């Protein structure tokens, strides 16, 4: 067996136990495989199991490297340890079979390290006899009859323990927060942790804070993540991180390589696969036609997932290890189609963002929360999008956070939307006006009236100048500025704006449009606030009727209209009429928006 360079083998106790239990099955021939991405410690785990359980295998442990010499090595092992020779007239694989048949009746462990496909090793495996146990290590997942055991990255506790074993100068505990950040950045990958630990051994005066900055600057290409010549014979692993990943990369088809490179654009977060399909709907990958959903799934499952280059979190949701993501990003940078890939990513995420309404109902929130990290990445690429789309991902993020009452995050994204619009489109563009309006709405909703007013006034001025006095977008700005005046008790200033907004919407959008219903509701609310109940009631009733007809009985806007009409009835002492409206409004709101 090869030399194990592990100073302190940590975090694999449960794996060793599980592996032992699987190999001790009473089946006639047990074939188990330790599967996982490059650098995760498959060979090290197999070595430790073999050394630990050596007494269980009096027939020996036959350790084979996945090379053309495996058949010869088995024959040499049989001759050296059991004085077994193949028949003189046998050749090739038959010589191996002769040795297996003559093998003494002793429990034997056969290990094939870095095994390729099952088909490539099946011919030299031992016969179906209970004395033989076969352990494979591989980057790939095997199909039956192999029992796959996939190992994961280390825990934070195990990762820190590994570094402490390599660095015995108290640096880990002196700079524990920095050590934890380093472990997290490395994705708790054993190979990366060991390489970093051995690098820091040679740099006793390098603080973890300084090393963290170095790692942030150089990423996966940092010298600390490459194996140095002097580590040969000291480490079990033969390669650095990039070289280990390169082996897996070389085994991929051209289409799978393009898909892997494309996935590196996504955020370091769970990736709903529907997003990948949306982004690649019009972009071919080498021999794979654009929009070939089944072809994409095959590349994902049969190459990336099967090769442990992509983690499947659950149905339809996948994730890249952070170092693999960086590696794939390096490959993306070399592609002639890089710009086209980024453009498709940005447009695909933007198309998803444009489906997010002002009110985000509970049923939509889980998916939108999954998508949100990827929208954040897409906001870095406004130059790849047409003018009308440049700020949509920011708007979707702001709306989502606002609906979750995360107002500081919502403000950040509304401000980012405004900055993109001003930078990319100019200070007087209609989309800049929309961004101003959205930020003002947030400020009004959180009581920051002084800040909101100046934004509303500027937004309205741009729309009147660029779109005209009777444009529906102008009506929106009029409506929102009026709402601000109403919130601050400036009813005289608010009323003509509401009246004008309603007139524009009725003329431009029609008497039964949902936006017309909104203006009716808001003008009614103004009348109610000033005690003009007789004028308010028919507007509330008409607004509710339009909303029910156009939006359906359970839309959140229906809850608002019901609540407002009920409030009017309450104000005028019509409690019997108010109560069922309040009850229905509450039921819709709880169902669509959630209890909080």
Residue 160's pLDDT is 95
CA distance 280 to 266: 13
pTM (predicted TM-score): 0.87
Residue 234's pLDDT is 64
The count of residues in the chain is 596
**Residue range 65-115, pLDDT digits in tens:** 877 889 999 999 999 999 988 888 888 899 999 999 999 999 999 999 999
Sign for the pseudo-dihedral over CA of 396, 402, 405, 411:
positive
Three-state secondary structure along 332-375?
Answer: HHCCCCHHHHHHHHHHHHHHHHCCCCCCCCHHHHHHHHHHHHHH
Residue 305 DSSP symbol? I
Q: Rounded to 10 degrees, what is the CA torsion of 383, 387, 391, 395?
A: -160
- Tally Cβ neighbours within 10 Å of residue 69: 11
147-153 average pLDDT score: 92
242-269 average pLDDT score: 96
Q: Is 308 left (phi over 0), alpha (psi -120 to 50) or beta?
A: left
Model confidence at 409, in pLDDT bands (50, 70, 90)?
very high
564-586 average pLDDT score: 96
Contact 240, 227 (CB under 8 A): yes
Residue 262's pLDDT is 98
Is residue 6's pLDDT more than 70?
no
443-448 average pLDDT score: 95
149-177 average pLDDT score: 93
Give the pair of three-digit tokens for residue 389. Answer: 């789309």
Residue 2's pLDDT is 80
% of the chain exceeding 90 in pLDDT: 85
Residue 9's pLDDT is 82
Average pLDDT of every residue of the chain: 93
Contact 421, 451 (CB under 8 A): no
Higher pLDDT: 66 or 266? It is 266
CA distance 66 to 139: 12
Residue 169's pLDDT is 87
CA distance 342 to 265: 7
Residue 441's pLDDT is 95
The per-residue DSSP string of 422-465 comes to: HHHH-TT-HHHHHHHHHHHHHHHHTT-HHHHHHHHHHHHHHHHH
26-38 average pLDDT score: 90
The per-residue DSSP string of 141-201 comes to: PPPTTSEEEE--PPPHHHHHHHHHHH--SSHHHHTHHHHHHHHHHTTT-HHHHHHHHHHHH
Least confident span in 21-30, 333-342, 385-394, 459-468: 21-30
Q: 394: part of which helix (H) or strand (E)? A: helix 392-403
Contact 522, 498 (CB under 8 A): yes
Residue 352's pLDDT is 94
The residue to which tokens 């136990």 are assigned: 17
Q: Is 83 left (phi over 0), alpha (psi -120 to 50) or beta?
A: left
> Which of 164-168, 487-491, 553-557 is modeled with the greatest confidence?
487-491
- Whether the upstream peptide bond of residue 145 has omega within 30° of 0, thus cis, is yes
**Residue range 302-349, pLDDT digits in tens:** 999 999 999 999 999 999 999 999 999 999 999 999 999 999 999 999
Is residue 232's pLDDT more than 80?
no
Contact 25, 146 (CB under 8 A): no
3-state secondary structure of 268: coil
% of the chain exceeding 70 in pLDDT: 98
Give the pair of three-digit tokens for residue 374. Answer: 């990827």
Higher pLDDT: 231 or 27? It is 27
Residue 7's pLDDT is 59
Model confidence at 5, in pLDDT bands (50, 70, 90)?
low
């Amino acid at each position: 067996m090869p030399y194990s360079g592990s100073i302190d083998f940590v975090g694999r106790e449960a794996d060793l136990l599980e592996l032992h239990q699987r190999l001790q099955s009473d089946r006639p021939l047990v074939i188990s495989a330790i599967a996982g991405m490059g650098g995760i410690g498959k060979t090290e785990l197999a070595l430790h199991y073999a050394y630990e359980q050596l007494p269980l295998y009096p027939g020996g442990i036959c350790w084979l490297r996945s090379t053309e010499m495996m058949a010869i090595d088995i024959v040499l092992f049989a001759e050296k340890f059991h004085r077994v020779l193949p028949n003189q007239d046998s050749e090739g694989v038959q010589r191996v079979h002769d040795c297996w048949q003559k093998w003494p009746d002793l429990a034997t462990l056969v290990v094939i390290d870095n095994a390729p496909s099952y088909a490539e090793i099946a011919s030299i495996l031992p016969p179906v006899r209970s004395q033989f146990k076969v352990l494979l290590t591989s980057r790939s997942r095997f199909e039956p009859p192999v029992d796959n055991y996939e190992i994961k990255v280390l825990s934070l506790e195990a990762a820190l323990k590994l570094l402490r074993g390599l660095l015995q100068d108290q640096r880990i505990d002196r700079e524990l927060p920095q050590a934890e950040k380093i472990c997290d950045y490395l994705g708790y990958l054993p190979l990366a942790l060991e390489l970093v630990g051995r690098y820091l051994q040679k740099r006793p005066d390098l603080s973890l804070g300084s090393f963290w900055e170095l790692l942030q600057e150089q990423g996966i290409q940092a010298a600390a993540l490459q194996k140095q010549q002097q580590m040969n014979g000291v480490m079990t692993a033969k390669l650095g991180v990039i070289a280990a990943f390169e082996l897996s990369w070389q085994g991929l088809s051209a289409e799978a390589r393009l898909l892997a490179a494309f996935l590196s654009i996504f955020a370091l977060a769970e990736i709903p696969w529907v997003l990948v399909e949306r982004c690649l709907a019009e972009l071919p990958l080498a021999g794979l036609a654009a929009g070939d959903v089944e072809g994409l799934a095959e590349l994902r499952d049969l190459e990336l997932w099967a090769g442990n280059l992509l983690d499947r979190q659950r149905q339809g949701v996948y994730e890249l290890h952070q170092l693999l993501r960086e590696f794939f990003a390096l490959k993306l940078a070399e592609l002639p189609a890089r710009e086209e890939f980024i453009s498709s990513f940005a447009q695909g995420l933007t198309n998803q963002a444009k489906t997010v309404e002002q009110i985000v109902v509970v049923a939509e929130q889980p998916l939108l929360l999954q998508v949100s990290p990827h929208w954040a990445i897409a906001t870095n690429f406004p130059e790849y999008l047409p003018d009308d789309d440049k700020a949509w991902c920011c708007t979707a993020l702001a709306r989502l956070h606002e609906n979750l009452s995360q107002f500081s995050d919502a403000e950040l994204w509304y401000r980012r939307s405004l900055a993109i619009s001003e930078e990319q489109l100019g200070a007087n563009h209609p989309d800049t006006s929309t961004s101003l309006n959205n930020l003002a709405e947030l400020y009004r909703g959180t009581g920051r009236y002084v800040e909101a007013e100046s934004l509303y006034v500027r937004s309205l001025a741009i729309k009147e100048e660029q779109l005209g006095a009777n444009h529906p977008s102008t009506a929106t700005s009029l409506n929102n500025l009026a709402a601000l005046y109403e919130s601050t008790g400036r009813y005289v200033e608010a009323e003509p704006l509401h009246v004008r907004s309603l007139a524009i919407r009725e003329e431009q959008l029609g008497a039964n449009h949902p936006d017309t219903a909104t203006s009716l509701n808001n003008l009614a609310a103004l009348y109610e606030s000033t005690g003009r109940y007789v004028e308010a009631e028919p507007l509330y009733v008409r607004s509710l009727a339009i909303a029910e007809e156009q939006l359906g009985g359970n839309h959140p806007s229906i809850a608002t209209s019901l609540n407002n009409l009920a409030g009017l009835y309450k104000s005028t002492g019509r409690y019997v009429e108010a109560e069922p409206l309040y009850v229905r409004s509450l039921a819709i709101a709880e169902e669509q928006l959630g209890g909080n």
